[in-house]
Amino acid sequence: MTLLEIMRTSKVIPVIAIDDLSYAVPLARALVGGGIRVLEVTLRTRHGLDAIRAMVDAVPDAIVGVGTLTRPEEFAASRAAGAVFGVSPGLTPALIAAANESGLPLLPGVMTPSEVMTASAAGFKQLKLFPAVPAGGVGMLNAIYGPLPDVTFCPTGGISAATAPQFLACKNVACVGGSWLTPKDAMAAGRWDEITALATAASSLA
């Protein structure tokens, strides 16, 4: 799948931080059961790569990517773990080189029109507006669409179930990223049905 096809598979991509490796597989099953197949497992915790590996092995319907890529060496390790796409909070020359070298499709974070233009010139047409709400939210996305209509976004950062439809209504938005699908208290308590319900609601957003 291309990165754009992946983005269009789920209206919401959950941003997942795994604090306990035992959460990985039941969480993936709960999300996929609710219709959310694209999962971004971040490297914010030490369990990130192991969680990706576990999800890929146990939940074949999940499309598992890696988030919070900040160092070039993380690309090869993520591919080895089974990630099929990567997400970064920003974009540097070193990350561009690592993405090209590894072949891992990268969704890089941008915040300003200049950063959008720089990423686009480097060949990245699918971008993450991050942090989306502080960066200007829906107003910024609509403003960028005029001069740069060939770029597609996954805005992430500060988006909720209530505000997600406003972002999804933008012409240049394929999906949104959000952490509301994976509440820490629900994971800790094993309330996987609750997470499936959140995923079901997210997958039916207009």
CA 118/CA 41 separation, integer angstroms: 26
Told to judge if 194 belongs to the known catalytic residues of this protein, a careful annotator would answer no
The residue assigned the tokens 């991050």 is 130
Alpha-carbon distances of 80 from 53, 56, 60, 123, 128, rounded to whole Å: 9, 11, 16, 24, 24
Q: Which of 5, 115, 125, 128 is catalytic?
A: 128
Active site residue 128: yes
Give the CA radius of gyration of the chain: 16
46: which 2 tokens?
């030490």
Query: Is the alpha carbon torsion for 126, 70, 185, 137 positive or negative?
Result: negative
Instruction: Report which DSSP code applies to 107.
Output: E
User: Which residue in 40, 115, 184, 194 is the catalytic one?
Assistant: 40
Q: Would you please indicate which residues are annotated as catalytic (active-site) residues? A: 40, 128
